[in-house]
Chains A and B, each alone.
Chain A
Amino acid sequence: MIDVYVRKAGPLHRLDPRVKIIGAVMLTVLCFFLSNLSYLLALLIFMQLLMLLTRVSSRIYLRTIWLAVRLAIIFVLIWPFFDQAGEPMLLDLWVYKVTLPGFLRSLAVAARILLIASGWFILIFTTSQSQLVRGMVKLGLRYDLGLSISIGLRYLPRFLGTMDQIKEAQMSRGFDMRKGGPITKAKNYIPILIPTIAIAMRTADELSQVLVCKGYGASKRRTYLRELQMRKTDGLALFSIASLGLLLILLDIIGLVQL
């Protein structure tokens, strides 16, 4: 579940990671500016169409976006307790009053949540971890931070594996961690966490020596075997994203479509 990159070739996979990162960030910012339901919904539908291009299987997509859907539903359900302005009244249950404008407003927030989520998922589904870090470094993230992110992402699955092995070893020496209530269960994790962290710390020690051995920091400017290259399509994509964003903001300010 950690490696959600979809290993297929698609048009979005070929896009320069920088374009996709800028796109995801812009979409997030845009979402907070827009409060017009029609725009948000239109954008949401557009994003779902883009999602088709990621070639992600619908089962995996639904599983990944489930948390966002849950939050969106909570917002829609809670909303009528508080925002009861406007007519007509659709439902009136004592303190729980659903009005049409209020309902549409809650839908707008729900759409906003789903939009932000789908924007980042498109990035994550179509960009490998190393491309992602490369892109961020090219966009101005410090190289050393980028390197530690790469290291972190590489070790995440390994530490999950270490924890499994420790669990198995404890089980084979008769320790049953599944017993007990939530507090006991949390406490049962401590004998697993301590060796995991201790091993991680020894790894950090060795890793720092490996970095020294590989000449990390030897030269102020390092070279790259493969440079990221913006192609025409990348430029075009970037231009379209930017213009679409601007257009929506402008429309929102002018208030052409009212809802």
Chain B
Amino acid sequence: MPLFSLRNVTFRYPSQEGYALRDISCEIDEGEFVALLGADGAGKSTFAKLLNGVIPHAVRGTLTGEVLFKGVPTTRLQITGLVREVGLALQDPDVQLFLDSIEEELAFGPENLAVPPAEIEKRIARALELMEITDIRAKSPKALSGGQKQRLVIASILTMGTETIVLDEALSMLDQSVKKELLDTLKRMSLREKITVVVASQDAEDIYRYCDKMILLDGGRLAAVGRPSEILRSSQVLTSLGIEPPQVLEAIERIRDEGPTDVSGRLSRYFLSQLSENRMRGGS
């Protein structure tokens, strides 16, 4: 059984004209690393919030169709139960860090769930280790860099015991090298603990090397779903939707048209070998 399956999901916000999502059907399996791609306003955020039940439980709007989590419609599950399993990180870490110390931040979720203190302690240690930030525990949240803040946000979700992490544009404002390091960490975590990761993004640069599946949205509709090797056969699929393709892919296509064919063939093979599904060494 897939972890999530969306069946003809349509959603609209009360104060906005038009549909945020229209007739979406797709599936996400356990342990998958998913890139959720789409242009500005394509519905990525709405999609992300549907997965952990914030929509429709805490955000007003009209939902038709159903989102099944482990086979059960999210509308029939308690939101407080869903958030234990599916965590959501938003774009701005500052909104998500609102307590005085890093420890309070990490403990807030499990405290709400009435987890015993000794168990919270264990979960904090595990989350900091998975996010590779064991050294920041004693710092002040204000002293953290942008990348560390995002890691702390994710760690503070992991302490709730979640097995799925959904990142809603949470990487877009990070420096490129910081973003890559964070993706590395997420990939290692996903492989090691079989944690499902969904990353929403406006561009496919970087993320294309990490994901096992790409979900492409266009104006609230599902444009395509597939493995990176299928979607990235041509950069056109992405560019026509307003999604920035990997620069390397664009270069290869131009060489295919303008340059020597044997070179472009070898470049394409190299490009494909960089994809997660073809990388046996995994992660690093």
Contact = CB atoms under 8 A, between A and B. Distances in A.
**Direct A–B contact in complex, judged by CB atoms less than 8 Å apart:** yes
Interface of A: 128-130, 150-151, 154-155, 158, 203, 206-210, 212-219, 221-227
Nearest to B112: A215
B184 interface: no
The 4 closest A-B pairs by CB, nearest first: A130-B100, A218-B80, A219-B114, A225-B107
B103 to A, nearest CB: 7
A43 B188 CA distance: 62
Contacts of A222: 111-114
Given A209-B58, A209-B59, A213-B157, A218 B114 contact: yes
B114 A225 contact: no
Nearest to B84: A215
B127 interface: no
Interface in B106-134: 107-117, 120-121, 124
B151 interface: no
A17 to B, nearest CB: 13
Contacts of B88: 209, 213
A160 to B, nearest CB: 14
Given A214-B156, A221-B114, A130 B99 contact: yes
A223 B92 CA distance: 28
A206 B95 contact: yes
B111 A224 contact: yes
B39 interface: no
A203 B93 CA distance: 12
Nearest to B52: A213
B172 to A, nearest CB: 16
Main secondary structure of the interface of B (DSSP, over half): helix
A216 B112 contact: yes
Contacts of A226: 103, 107, 117
Contacts of B109: 214-215
B35 interface: no
A74 B169 CA distance: 57
Contacts, number: 99
A131 to B, nearest CB: 9
Interface residues of B, number: 40
Contacts of A227: 117
A207 to B, nearest CB: 6
Given A158-B94, A209-B59, A218 B117 contact: no
B100 A223 contact: no
Interface of B: 49, 52, 54, 57-59, 79-80, 83-84, 87-88, 90, 92, 94-96, 98-101, 103-104, 107-117, 120-121, 124, 156-157, 160
Given A130-B100, A130-B101, A213 B83 contact: yes
Contacts of A218: 80, 83-84, 112-114
A213 B49 CA distance: 10
Contact of A150 (B57, B59, B98): B98
Contact of B121 (A128, A151, A225): A225
Contacts of B83: 212-215, 218
A228 to B, nearest CB: 13
Given A150-B99, A215-B112, A209 B121 contact: no
Nearest to B55: A209
B206 to A, nearest CB: 25
Given A209-B90, A214-B156, A219-B114, 9 more contacts: A207-B98, A210-B95, A212-B58, A213-B54, A213-B87, A218-B112, A219-B112, A222-B114, A225-B111
Contacts of A206: 90, 92, 95
A212 B49 CA distance: 11
Nearest to A219: B114
Nearest to B49: A209
A158 B141 CA distance: 13
B104 A210 contact: no
B112 A207 contact: no
Given A217-B80, A218-B80, A154 B115 contact: no
Contacts of A203: 95
A222 B88 CA distance: 21
A71 B124 CA distance: 49
A223 B120 contact: yes
Contacts of A130: 99-101, 104
A210 B92 CA distance: 11
A225 B117 contact: yes
Nearest to B99: A150
Contacts of A225: 103-104, 107, 110-111, 117, 120-121, 124
Nearest to A157: B142
A222 B104 CA distance: 14
A208 B116 CA distance: 25
